[in-house]
Amino acid sequence: MADKQPTQEEMAAHRKRQQEFEDAARHIQSLVDGVRHDPMKLHKITVRGAGKTRESFMHRILQPAFQARSLHEVIGLSRQAVRRAERFGIFDDIKLQLDSPSDPWLQGRKDMIDLGVWVKESSRIQIRTGTEAGNAEASMYGAMTVKNLFGGAETLNTSMAFGTRTSSSFQFSLATPILADPDKWLSLNLFSQARNNTQWSSYEEELKGGSLKYTTLSPIGYHEFAYEGHWREVCRPTDKASLSIREQCGHSLKSALTHMWVHDMRDEALMPSTGHLVRVIQEYAGLGGDIEHLRHEVEAQIARSNSSGYIISATAKSGYLHSLNGKKSKISDRFFLGGPMSVRGFKSFGLGPREGDDSLGGDAYVSAGLSLLTPFPGLSTRDSFKAHFFANAGALVSVEPGQPAKKTVDDLTKAPSVSVGAGIVYRHPQVRIELNFALPLMATKTDALARGWQLGLGISFL
């Protein structure tokens, strides 16, 4: 049955109501414009609906609004406070209402105003299960998050995971904002992991420990400062384990200070089309335990695109591990290089020092990649699919204690491993998936090649 069409009288009445509404809105706007710069102070803030959130926490968030000296500033500072509150992720909805003072003795005051804040708190507990993929690893996980634990946007995270590389993992994290600032967090983290590294080296590893982290945002990017204490055990070598791996077996204790700085101006992380990234990680170990070293790692990436959907990106990474006690580094602290999301055309962790079938890792590395992403034939209208052409290069070397820097640089530059290839890239909402045909062009005698098709899943890539 066809819908009944409105009559001319009904349409005229609708247009009249719409005109009256628009006239009233313009009148209200003119009244606000007329007084927006008149002297005015915020008298009182009333918060309703915050049954689980501490009053003192809401007071810290909203306190800056009391600095307003005009209606314009009251509105502006109140909106800033709301945006700050929304960033904690503990409210589903926040509404504001301005009104004249409710106290009888202030009814005649034109220079004061009250602010009403209505909030709808989000659910505290979230439980998630599923599968996820990272660089060279896939896993099943179960996680529980409790938000706003003590009424001040504290977050408790617990998770368990079982995967192809991390055989089992348990993590506990309790984070709280500092002074109700969504850009400053303090967190306590505890973990226990069992890693199976037999895919590229003949040993397993158990790790237990914790960290205390402070994270903040600055005008130049994200900073993370941490103290970490880790107990590690290299254990259960296979029957084919090399002598170098057997020598590494045993316990070690690392006590370290770390700092990470990230300046990320990319439009997205998985398939950036514009922008740049700089990441710097520094670690000093030697506050206790039997590990003493300085460890540095730097990553830079830039991406550019055009209106036809072509993207070119370049990435460079480098790392250096310097022993401070005159002893050779532990395999748990070394760098590993190679794989479908690293230097493609080589097996996972297949570059650098090796004994038999065992990758031993290295103390210094450089790697670089150049990629061209183009619209994929037949799928040119779908931005998540791209054809992929790449060239990769990298080198990973060991460094003897006291070794001159010039020798390290010479070792890194004299014989880099190089590969080229082509394939397809799919940007999943959670992970980048690549299927490439890779061809190694240059390799050292210890490299483990992976000529042909490689499937890669990860969130970071060369």
Read off the pLDDT of residues 404-417 as tens digits, 9 standing for 90 and up. Answer: 999 999 999 998 99
Most confident of 109-113, 313-317, 374-378: 313-317
pLDDT over 70 (residue 448): yes
- Both tokens assigned to 79: 């909106």
Phi, psi of 410 (to 5 degrees): -60, -40
| Structural domain spans, the chain | 17-121, 197-458
Q: Tell me the C-alpha distance between 118 and 96, whole Å.
A: 6
Using the structure block, give the residue that is written with the tokens 């031993």: 360
pLDDT at 137 exceeding the cut of 90: no
Question: What percent of the chain lies above the pLDDT cut of 90?
Answer: 66
If you average pLDDT over residues 175-187, what whole number do you get? Answer: 95
pLDDT confidence of residue 417: 96
Of 124 and 140, more confident: 124
What's the whole-number mean pLDDT along residues 163-173? 80
Q: How confident is the model at residue 32 (pLDDT cuts 50, 70, 90)?
A: low
- In the block, residue with structure tokens 């990629």: 371
pLDDT computed for residue 100 by the predictor: 77
The pTM is what? Answer: 0.84
pLDDT band, very low/low/confident/very high, at 133 (cuts 50, 70, 90): low
Distance CA 11, CA 19 (A): 12
DSSP 335: B
The pLDDT of residue 376? 82
Please compute the mean of the pLDDT values over residues 265-281 and round it to a whole number: 95
Q: Which two tokens stand for residue 409?
A: 């640089």
Burial class (CB in 10 A: 0-12, 13-18, 19+), 298: middle
Model confidence band, residue 23 (pLDDT cutoffs 50, 70, 90): low
Q: How far is CA 178 from CA 57, 181, 187, 199, 384, in A?
A: 11, 6, 10, 43, 39
Q: Give me the pLDDT at residue 240, please.
A: 92
- What pLDDT score was predicted for residue 17? 77
Which neighbouring-strand residues pair with 144? 127, 158
List beta partners, residue 404: none
**What is the reported pLDDT for 29?**
58
The yes-or-no verdict on residue 2 having pLDDT over 70 is no
Q: How much of the chain, in percent, has pLDDT values that exceed 70?
A: 91
CA dihedral over 248, 249, 255, 258, signed as positive or negative? positive
At 151, the pLDDT band (50, 70, 90 cuts) reads: very high
Contact 392, 462 (CB under 8 A): yes
pLDDT band for position 380 (50/70/90)?
A: low
Give the dihedral sign, CA 66/67/71/77.
Answer: negative
CA distance 111 to 107: 11
Query: What region, left, alpha or beta, does residue 96 occupy, with left being phi > 0 and alpha being psi -120 to 50 degrees?
Result: beta
If pLDDT is split at 50, 70 and 90, which confidence band does 169 have?
A: confident
Confidence of residue 359 (pLDDT cuts 50, 70, 90): very high
197-458 matches 17-121 in CATH topology: no
Structure confidence by residue, pLDDT tens digits, 205-227: 999 999 999 999 999 999 999 99
Please determine, for residue 450, whether its predicted confidence score (pLDDT) is greater than 70: yes
Is residue 25's pLDDT more than 70?
A: no
3-state DSSP call for residue 273? coil
CA distance 404 to 399: 9
CATH of 17-121, one of 3.30.465.10, 3.10.20.310, 3.30.1050.10, 3.40.640.10: 3.10.20.310
Q: How many residues would you count in the chain?
A: 462
Strand partners, 211: 189, 228
Mean pLDDT of the chain: 89
Task: Rounding to the nearest 10 degrees, give the CA dihedral for residues 2, 8, 14, 18.
Answer: 120
Mean pLDDT of 138-165: 86
Q: Which CATH architecture has domain 197-458?
A: Beta Barrel (2.40)
Give mean pLDDT, residues 366-373: 97
pLDDT at 349: 94
pLDDT in tens, 68-83: 888 888 888 988 999 9
pLDDT at 138: 61
State the pLDDT at residue 1: 46
**283-292 b/e with 16+ CB inside 10 Å = b?**
bebbeebebb
